[in-house]
Structure 1
Amino acid sequence: MISGIHLTMLLAFIQVLSIAALTNSNDYVALKALKDTWINVPPNWVGSDPCGDVWDGITCKNDRVVSITLASINLTGQLSSDISGLTELQTLDLSYNKGMTGSLPSGIGNVKKLSSLILVGCGFSGPIPPSIGSLQQLRYLSLNSNNFIGSIPPSIGNLLNLYWLDLADNKLTGTIPVSDGTSPGLDMLVNTKHFHFGKNQLSGVIPPQLFNSNLALIHLLFENNQLTGSIPSTMGLVRTLEVVRLDRNSLSGPVPSNFNNLTSVQELFLANNKLTGSLPNLTGMNLLHYVDMSNNSFDATDIPPWFSSLQSLTTLIMENTKIQGSLPVSLFSLLQLQTVTLKNNQINGTLNIGSNHSNQLQIIDLQNNLIDAFTQRAGFTVQVILVGNPICNEGGQESYCTIPQPSNNSYSTPPQNCMPSNCSSETVSSPTCKCAYPYTGTLIFRAPSFSNYRNGTIFVSLENKLMSVFKSRSLPVDSVSVSNPNRNIDNYLSLDLQVFPSGQEFFNRTAISGIGFTLSNQTFKPPPEFGPFFFIGRSYPYFQVSVEGSPSKKSSNTGVIIGAAVGGAVLLLLLIVAGVYAIRQRTRAETADRMNDPFALWDPSKNSGAVPQLKGAKAFTFEELKESTNNFSESNAIGSGGYGRVYRGTLAKGQLVAIKRAVQGSMQGRLEFKTEIELLSRVHHKNVVSLVGFCFDHGEQMLVYEFIANGTLRDSISGKSGIRLDWMRRLRIAHGAAKGIQYLHDEANPPIIHRDIKSNNILLDERLNAKVADFGLSKIMHDSERNHVTTQVKGTMGYLDPEYYMTQQLTEKSDVYSFGILMFELLTARLPIEKNKHIVRQVMSSMDKSKSMYNLQGLLDPAVASRMSTKSVEMFVDLALWCVKELGSNRPSMSEVVKEIENTMEIAGINPNAESTPSSSTYVDANKASKHPYSDESLFAYSGSYLDSSSVQPM
């Protein structure tokens, strides 16, 4: 018989067990049913508490399952109607599991809170259920690369919050549904930006009703279907369109005359149809990069003038389009031109490339035309193919009279300043020369804007953007490698991708699902040159055995529990009391140690180096900063970036500070954290942001800065901050920033190279004085490295010193180059790279020193252009051009830059030694809504070890 005390203890023990079972019972039942129909579920899917036991791939909020992400784990089975039991589910991603087959259950329509349904690259078949139109909160619907059949459900038109619709690469048939007053249609999706329907068997006409001026559509992809009829003129109403792919259908009739209203289109594919009439006039479509209208039935026409007017053009493909006449020399002088393919036409006369052709030009393919002469100059390296022209019909042996062998586009990510390892078994040497088992797959870009795959720089930007997003999501990724770029049979650019683990040879399932989800749900946004993409991942078979060790199962046998509880209740209580006491004592001891040594828990093995060495920075406890921000309340959140979030705080003595808080528990960014606190604790200058202190406590990494009232220079230049910067103020800002950098180079001991000078890293205080910020990428120059230091390339695309990028030799002149770009930004208010054009090239191509202001009025910021002093502008441009000289040895030092800016200020009537007196309110634009200075993309978004530090935004 159980005694009263034992019974009381038993009831308490059972209550503890019931409290520990966190998962909602209905959610558990639904998950258990799904688990029973699937093979290869994660091995820790045991017990009855998926939330409390943290099942791999399951995310919960309180006791409810809100996310299932199980990409690339070789999951096999069917998606049953039991999914409808997960009524709080918001995300379902089963991508890259080919073994997931069968039809999509109609019960999916009952998961009303679903916002992301992502089933990319699986083996699903059957029709798409109409019930999917009941998911009113759905934003991402990605069902591409499956075997779905039947028609597109008209009910999808009810998904008014839909942002991304991808049904490509299936076996869908029927027509494109539009509303008719009684049933919905795709024309109702006015907020959807992506229609991806390529590689299906859709038929019928493209309904004119599909398009109207209210659509937000940017990507219209209907390639490789069986569409007929004409291109509707209503398409010309959708001025937001950026990519149009209608190629490889059976479209007929003329291209609408209003087609050139689509001035935002960058990639245009109309090839392999039955289009007739005149060649469309693309005049005014000045953002066009890639044009392919090959293999249609257009009327014979002379070379159109717009060939030479599309200043952004990289690729012109017009095979078999009945164009005739001589090619103008001006075509080849388009600055970004890479490929011209005009085979099987009636082009005649002399081919003259001219002496000022684009330095990016790679190939001119004019096979089977009527060219009888070719003006070739010495040193000409462009590949020209004239086979089938009169010039080659008489036994010509010149290189242009032979079909060249296919070029080898064998780009592969190079090692990062190391020798590749000799790896055994199935491991691969990573770019950081570590042997590991990578996660692999294929990145496929449906409409890239470039055709030159020999320039590795473009792929470096892709690699670094990938690393940027992986780091921002705290995924354990050491490095990425892309290789084997090629155009596949669908005219897509495909790239092999390898993702390498950080800290060990293997990924676990959580990491694989995180990487897969990042690529499947379009969190990763590639550089703009690559355009829309999708990823097909491969199953990952290399999970660590130690990670997979099966946890002990919770027994559901109540009798066993009761017996164990009765037999050991007293002992258990004693152990609990003793354990609690010991833990409290240990916690107190650890707290005391941390007060004396804030880096007691610093782990040098976490790729972060030795314990930071500081000079004077205050160590704050977590509780102090928690109190200063009102428990990190949303009302005090003032910005975010890849590293984490930024909060406004008020310290105990009333000092206002900005607190940069990393994602809790993340080891990403630890090296940058260490670098910044070490550097900023030892530099003090009025033009360098001050570090108040830091926090390395409770698993947190936080940096505490002085609060800079007016945020980043970029926000003020762009107008986001509501502050107007006149020319006098811009000169003062340039002067202050230059003095801050000069201090780092010449007065800091040892000298410091910032390595990421850009407008987002120049802050403006309440009097608009410039302060250099963000030292996460900075490098100390020791005496042995006074001339240069060889190091991995880091920085931000557009500002990055090309000499440093090519040689990996970092010098102080690398900061000088970046500062020169910053000067052009102050002049023009433009980003360093806009629409694939670099600001230096724009200036060089427009300037004429014989004219006033060097003929740059069209590039100058209109907000101040009319009030600029002509001579001061010319001096400022001369200095900026000096700073961006190709060779660092030809650039000025920062002390020379400071002196030249002071001379320019004097010419403009400004005393460079006078203190800045007006407050920022003097410059506030009353017509602008002021935005908080610590916004996205400000000081608080680490660049990391990648070239593009921009945060992830929807395309």
Structure 2
Amino acid sequence: TSTSFERHQLRSWYFNSSLESRPPPPPAPSSSPRPSSGVIAGAAAGATMFLVLLFAAAAALLVRRRRRQNIMEMEEDYTDSEDEGEPMTEIEMGTGPRRFPYHELVGATKNFTAEEKLGQGGFGAVYRGYLREPAGLAVAIKRLESSMQGKKEYKSEIKVISRLRHRNLVRLIGWCHGRDQELMLVYELMPNRSLDIHLHGKGTFLTWPMRMKILLELGSALLYLHEEWEQCVLHRDIKPSNVMLDESFGAKLGDFGLARLVDHAAGMQTMTAVSGTPGYLDPECVCTGRASAESDMYSFGVVLLEVACGRRPMSIIAADQDQHKNGGVFRLVEWAWELYGRGAILEAADERLNGSYNTVEVERVMVVGLWCAHPNPAARPSIRTAMATLQPKVNQACCELPVLPSKMPMPMYAPLSPPLTSGNVAGVSSSSSSTVQSLALTDVVGMSSMSTSTTSSKTSSSLLKHHHT
């Protein structure tokens, strides 16, 4: 059997189980499941939100475009055609003054309450305010009238002073204007207000050293405007009420509403209307309509005399006190020139100083004041020469006091403008009384007619010769 083997072959197979069989699993679905109601609601909300945002963005874009168009139209309204049409929006691109929203200035001044009012100018009121940014910064807010002259001053102020940088100029912080809103200018607040208040009001008594410091700082500002900036800036309204004083009684020249820019080579600009304040206004400007650096020097000279003498440039005097027989009007320049001719110029010094002053300085200030207010514009010094004369240095022969005529010369210019009418004197500041204005204008017209009838002429050098009578 060890070599034998056996082969079996299976012919059929059968299996039977007593266990229960499981049913086959359900067939896989042939399509995607039907979305639930929550998914449908979410999709609908998302689509609605998208449409809402789309319409909101379109509306915002439309409003912004319309607002920009309104601003452009408004800027065109406030563009000064005399100054090459530069829009004020260009100023906003710089780092200087900024534009304030109207509501912020209303809040800063407590809705322009009377207790915050600092004063009233020719074309608007000035209020004290405190800004939110920078926090608590004290400012002076000038609220200009929406008249044609007010708009001109507003445009000129922004265009000129926003480009100037000098320690003796009032700093413009910002502005605000709108189509249906008032015109407002925001300046740094000067705690001691204006020089005029301390000279003629209930302010602090100014000693002579304080007065001399103020005059030199005012001259420094004018030197910057006339000769040290890229263009010559004609201020055209230099007077004590526009000379502001800081906490240490340092002087800063403000109110550039009448200012104009001219090239240094031009030196003169013809104006369409008389602008300025009687008493400080150069008679040549009234008669010829020409404004120049020399006309600013006339105003500076009057301020020099006013500070040294403590008297206003013009005032009404009683008939029984009229010593000059000139219609009852006191004129500071004529009065001081008469004392100069008699060799008694120091008699014009402010009596309130009670002799507590440097006589050399007082005489120098008053003589330079007369020199600057010389009736002949060609005989007036430049601001650089005047400043060098006010504060002479050692071995400076060119800074010696000038020798003026003993009698006040007659003006030597011919009128180039049409005759003076009520229409072209509208720009004269209303800070003085109407009576003084009319007397002042009558006086300068009389001076003009007298000068035009005079056929003889003198050179600038001959006008500086002193002839004692």
> Which TM-score band applies after superposition, normalised by the shorter structure?
0.5 to 0.7
Shift of 1:600: 4.7
Which of residues 57, 63, 73 is equivalent to 1:589?
Answer: 63
Counterparts of 1:953 and 1:801 in 2: how far apart (Å)? 18
User: Does 1:874 pair with 2:363?
Assistant: yes
User: Does 1:618 pair with 2:107?
Assistant: no
User: Does 1:767 pair with 2:248?
Assistant: yes
Indicate conservation of the 8 Å contact 1:708/1:764, yes or no.
Answer: yes
Shift of 1:590: 5.8
Counterparts of 1:769 and 1:716 in 2: how far apart (Å)? 13
Indicate conservation of the 8 Å contact 2:349/2:362, yes or no.
Answer: no
Q: 1:642/1:826 Cα in 2 relative to 1: closer, same or farther (>3 Å)? A: closer
- Correspondence for 2:310: 829
Q: 1:643/1:897 Cα in 2 relative to 1: closer, same or farther (>3 Å)? A: same
- SS where residue 355 of structure 2 aligns? helix
Partner AA of 2:183 in structure 1: Q
Counterparts of 1:692 and 1:823 in 2: how far apart (Å)? 29
- Correspondence for 2:266: 786
Counterparts of 1:805 and 1:813 in 2: how far apart (Å)? 14
Query: What is the 5 A alignment of 1:359-378?
Result: none
Shift of 1:608: 6.9
Which of residues 864, 883, 892 is equivalent to 2:353?
Answer: 864
- Correspondence for 2:384: 895
State the Cα deviation string for residues 838-863 of structure 1 (Å, max 9, x = none).
1111112233564xxx2542x32111
Q: Once superposed, what is the RMSD of the aligned Cα atoms?
A: 3.2
Shift of 1:666: 4.5
Query: What is the 5 A alignment of 1:213-612?
Result: 589=63, 593=67, 600-604=73-77, 610=85, 611-612=87-88
Counterparts of 1:838 and 1:807 in 2: how far apart (Å)? 21
Indicate conservation of the 8 Å contact 2:302/2:369, yes or no.
Answer: yes
Indicate conservation of the 8 Å contact 2:346/2:363, yes or no.
Answer: no
Counterparts of 2:393 and 2:285 in 1: how far apart (Å)? 29
- Correspondence for 2:405: none
Shift of 1:952: 6.7
Q: Which runs of no fewer than 5 residues in structure 1 stay unpaired? A: 1-581, 906-943
Partner AA of 1:634 in structure 2: A
- Correspondence for 1:711: 193
Q: 1:881/1:641 Cα in 2 relative to 1: closer, same or farther (>3 Å)? A: closer
Shift of 1:954: 11
Partner AA of 2:239 in structure 1: K
State the Cα deviation string for residues 371-407 of structure 1 (Å, max 9, x = none).
xxxxxxxxxxxxxxxxxxxxxxxxxxxxxxxxxxxxx
Partner AA of 1:839 in structure 2: L
Q: 1:713/1:597 Cα in 2 relative to 1: closer, same or farther (>3 Å)? A: farther
- SS where residue 119 of structure 2 aligns? strand
Counterparts of 1:607 and 1:597 in 2: how far apart (Å)? 18
- Correspondence for 2:202: 720
Instruction: Tell which has more relative contact order, 1 or 2 (C-alpha 8 A, sep 6+).
Output: 2
Partner AA of 2:103 in structure 1: E
Shift of 1:946: 2.7
Partner AA of 2:428 in structure 1: L
Indicate conservation of the 8 Å contact 1:598/1:619, yes or no.
Answer: no
Q: 1:945/1:667 Cα in 2 relative to 1: closer, same or farther (>3 Å)? A: closer
State the Cα deviation string for residues 584-606 of structure 1 (Å, max 9, x = none).
x7999269946x99665234399
- Correspondence for 1:132: none
Amino-acid identity (%): 33
Shift of 1:816: 0.7
User: Does 1:651 pair with 2:131?
Assistant: yes
Q: 1:864/1:838 Cα in 2 relative to 1: closer, same or farther (>3 Å)? A: same
User: Does 1:803 pair with 2:284?
Assistant: yes
Partner AA of 2:63 in structure 1: A
User: Does 1:729 pair with 2:218?
Assistant: no
Indicate conservation of the 8 Å contact 2:193/2:246, yes or no.
Answer: yes
Counterparts of 1:602 and 1:752 in 2: how far apart (Å)? 24
Q: 1:833/1:904 Cα in 2 relative to 1: closer, same or farther (>3 Å)? A: farther
Please say which structure displays the higher CA radius of gyration: 2
- SS where residue 111 of structure 2 aligns? coil
Indicate conservation of the 8 Å contact 2:313/2:332, yes or no.
Answer: yes
Counterparts of 1:605 and 1:719 in 2: how far apart (Å)? 36
Q: 1:587/1:710 Cα in 2 relative to 1: closer, same or farther (>3 Å)? A: farther
More moved, 735-744 vs 805-814: 805-814
Q: Which runs of no fewer than 5 residues in structure 2 stay unpaired? A: 1-55, 317-328, 395-424, 437-469
Partner AA of 1:625 in structure 2: L
Normalised by the size of structure 1, how large is the TM-score?
Answer: 0.32
Counterparts of 2:149 and 2:366 in 1: how far apart (Å)? 39
Indicate conservation of the 8 Å contact 1:726/1:864, yes or no.
Answer: yes
Indicate conservation of the 8 Å contact 1:632/1:647, yes or no.
Answer: yes
Partner AA of 2:331 in structure 1: H
Counterparts of 2:341 and 2:434 in 1: how far apart (Å)? 38
User: Does 1:694 pair with 2:187?
Assistant: no
Normalised by the size of structure 2, how large is the TM-score?
Answer: 0.63
Shift of 1:800: 1.3
Counterparts of 2:165 and 2:209 in 1: how far apart (Å)? 26
Q: 1:847/1:889 Cα in 2 relative to 1: closer, same or farther (>3 Å)? A: closer
- Correspondence for 2:333: 840
- SS where residue 105 of structure 2 aligns? helix
Query: What is the 5 A alignment of 1:196-215?
Result: none
Shift of 1:796: 1.1
Counterparts of 1:673 and 1:589 in 2: how far apart (Å)? 28
- SS where residue 159 of structure 2 aligns? helix
Indicate conservation of the 8 Å contact 1:598/1:696, yes or no.
Answer: no
- SS where residue 338 of structure 2 aligns? helix
